[in-house]
Structure 1
Amino acid sequence: MNTLEAIVIAIVEGLTEFLPVSSTGHMIIAQKLLGVQSTDFVRLFTVGIQLGAILSVVMLYWRKFLAPLSQNAASQDAPSLVRMEVKFRFYLKLLLAFVPAAFFGLVFKSVIDTMLESVLVVAISLVAGGVVLLFVDKWFNNQPDSDEEPTYPKAFKIGLFQVIAMIPGVSRSAATIIGGLTQKMSRKAAAEFSFFLAVPTMAAATGYELLQTWQLIQPGDWPIFILGNVVAFVVALLAIKGFISYLTRHGFKVFGYYRIAVGVIILLLLAFGVDLNMVG
């Protein structure tokens, strides 16, 4: 992987990580189209640049992570004990939502790794998920406009939706946002909780991959890894701001059409003998 290829893949990650279009699927497609070989470093890179995207969430919502107080729960003038209790509840909800993906990710890691190599799986998932997004606005068109956090049981249920996103092309963001909508959250609240949940989920995935493969990486590869994270961080900052604004006003339908179009194009390429799975 050269510097230009790393920048392109990092831009794809930053643009798509928090959109309901599947960042993993898009990075797999980008890697195949660029002809990037699937080496130990490339696998680490595509997972590791999620660190940049994670930091973008923490930066944009730093008050939530450092002092997560909802307007209804407490104010900045509340006693420190109350603030600590609210902070504890926030992190406990994230932990509950994170547990299902952590469990299934460890149990089915080999299966997931195999699917990550398949562009066909990505294409089918993009189309299927796109069809779902075409109807999400109609299914949940009367949700309250609220910024409140989910309860503990609702947080765990949202976490179950995140398990579905282990299939490449499904989209972690789409799965968890829809999970939030099923729990009567508003679009904005569901999207923001999806962003918050991405932090422990992606941090764990990246940390695990680093522990498994860092010793196999050549010293000269680390500047590219760092550059990729910087690019993903900057692009994700812009993507998150734009997505929240667009989603609140317009909903999911455009993302559904986009997913279907990309998925169909990939299926057609495969049908005409373009062996995308074997590139690299």
Structure 2
Amino acid sequence: MEIIIAIILGIVEGLTEFAPVSSTGHLILVAHLLEFTGEKAKTFEIIIQLGSILAVVFVFWRRILSILGIKKWQKGEEVGTLSIFHIAIGIIPFGIGGVLFYDFIKEVLFRSGTVVITLIIGGLLMLAAEKWKPHKPTAETLDQVTYRQAFAVGMFQCFALVPGFSRSGATLSGGLLAGMSHKTASEFTFIMAIPIMAAATGKDLFESWNYLTPQDLPLFLTGFFTAFIVALLAIKFFLQLINKIKLAPFAYYRFGLAFLFWIFIL
């Protein structure tokens, strides 16, 4: 039964981690319905998030090498100019907020009631971003992203410190308002997620190390690889989908998820 639970939660994580719908909210709801809770469940969630991170690295490995200065990414005659400084500018605000408010977030805000509220607020932000974004984006590709736009996305990302807000929902909204296209904002969000998620999950994994046991290895490995494979497919699909349907359908989906939370959790 635990292997089935691992597959289900791995699918949920892979589908929702990089969509603007709050993976935290989905995992809390589904785990509650499956009655999979406790310290082992929390450690399991950390493991499957690592699977999602690996999927991003797999999809964007050429771009990552270019950002690190190891090998320039090229498409035709165009050489990638997105640098590690763009990524650093984007993650610094979130990193500072995480360090200052980590304990407060974990002890006070990590509640089901908070998730319901932030699902709704995040959805409203996404609708606002679609309404008030510039008519013509100034950054149609990653190589047109400016430092100012990277910083703007980083500031919006701070909303995601509150559980349920959705990091991708916040950064996509910030990217649109800063003048990025939907696809560019999505790609920048995915790449910027790598150091942030790696640091956060690494810290949580270190603190949960005592809950890793050989008996649970099949559970953790099943969830990890399920999340990796599903996230790999979901990222590629989402990059094609976002230009077609924009953010509004995801916002309305969040409102529906908040309603389910209110019924089943609160």
Q: TM-score, normalised by structure 2?
A: 0.88
Q: Equivalent residue for 2:93?
A: 100
5+ residue gaps in structure 2? none
Within the alignment, does 1:258 sit opposite 2:248 as a pair? no
Q: Quote the offset at 1:14 in angstroms.
A: 0.4
Q: Equivalent residue for 1:147?
A: 141
Q: Quote the offset at 1:173 in angstroms.
A: 0.3
Q: Equivalent residue for 2:186?
A: 191
Alpha-carbon distance in structure 2 between the residues aligned to 1:127 and 1:191: 21
Question: How do residues 69-88 of structure 1 correspond to structure 2 at under 5 angstroms?
Answer: 69=72, 75=78, 86=81
CA contact (8 A) 1:47 1:206 kept: yes
Counterpart of 1:19 in 2: which secondary structure? Answer: coil
Residue type of the partner of 1:190?
A
Alpha-carbon distance in structure 2 between the residues aligned to 1:101 and 1:45: 24
Counterpart of 2:36 in 1: which secondary structure? Answer: coil
Q: Equivalent residue for 1:11?
A: 11
Q: Which has the larger radius of gyration?
A: 1
Instruction: List per-residue Cα deviations over 1:1-60 (Å, max 9, x = no partner).
Output: 822222211111100011110111111111112111221x32122123111111111111
Structure 1 vs Structure 2: percent identity of aligned residues?
39
Alpha-carbon distance in structure 1 between the residues aligned to 2:3 and 2:184: 37
Alpha-carbon distance in structure 2 between the residues aligned to 1:196 and 1:227: 25
Q: Equivalent residue for 2:106?
A: 113
Q: Quote the offset at 1:199 in angstroms.
A: 0.5
Question: How do residues 199-210 of structure 1 correspond to structure 2 at under 5 angstroms?
Answer: 199-210=194-205
Within the alignment, does 1:128 sit opposite 2:127 as a pair? no
Question: How do residues 243-254 of structure 1 correspond to structure 2 at under 5 angstroms?
Answer: 243-254=238-249
Q: Quote the offset at 1:71 in angstroms.
A: 6.3
Q: Quote the offset at 1:138 in angstroms.
A: 2.2
Alpha-carbon distance in structure 1 between the residues aligned to 2:165 and 2:64: 27
Instruction: List per-residue Cα deviations over 1:138-167 (Å, max 9, x = no partner).
Output: 222623271034222332221121111011
CA contact (8 A) 2:159 2:170 kept: yes
Alpha-carbon distance in structure 1 between the residues aligned to 2:169 and 2:78: 32
CA contact (8 A) 1:115 1:121 kept: no
Q: Equivalent residue for 1:79?
A: none
CA contact (8 A) 2:129 2:174 kept: no
Q: Equivalent residue for 2:65?
A: 66
Runs of 4+ in 1 over 3 A off after TM superposition: 68-72
Call closer, same or farther: CA 1:92–1:50 in 2, change over 3 Å: same
CA contact (8 A) 1:54 1:203 kept: yes
5+ residue gaps in structure 1? 77-82
Counterpart of 1:27 in 2: which secondary structure? Answer: helix
Residue type of the partner of 1:21?
V
Instruction: List per-residue Cα deviations over 1:77-129 (Å, max 9, x = no partner).
Output: xxxxxx8xx5xx62222122122222221221222213564211111211222
Residue type of the partner of 2:5?
E
Question: How do residues 147-166 of structure 1 correspond to structure 2 at under 5 angstroms?
Answer: 147-149=141-143, 150-166=145-161
Q: Equivalent residue for 1:180?
A: 175
Alpha-carbon distance in structure 2 between the residues aligned to 1:106 and 1:136: 28
CA contact (8 A) 1:53 1:232 kept: yes
CA contact (8 A) 2:20 2:169 kept: yes
Residue type of the partner of 1:212?
E
Alignment length, in residue pairs?
260
Within the alignment, does 1:232 sit opposite 2:227 as a pair? yes
Call closer, same or farther: CA 1:113–1:250 in 2, change over 3 Å: same
Alpha-carbon distance in structure 2 between the residues aligned to 1:12 and 1:140: 30
Q: TM-score, normalised by structure 1?
A: 0.84
Alpha-carbon distance in structure 1 between the residues aligned to 2:242 and 2:141: 14
Counterpart of 1:21 in 2: which secondary structure? Answer: coil
Call closer, same or farther: CA 1:206–1:130 in 2, change over 3 Å: same
Q: Quote the offset at 1:223 in angstroms.
A: 2.7
Instruction: List per-residue Cα deviations over 1:210-261 (Å, max 9, x = no partner).
Output: 2222133222123322221111111111111221111111211111111111
CA contact (8 A) 1:12 1:23 kept: yes
Q: Quote the offset at 1:70 in angstroms.
A: 6.7
Alpha-carbon distance in structure 2 between the residues aligned to 1:115 and 1:22: 18
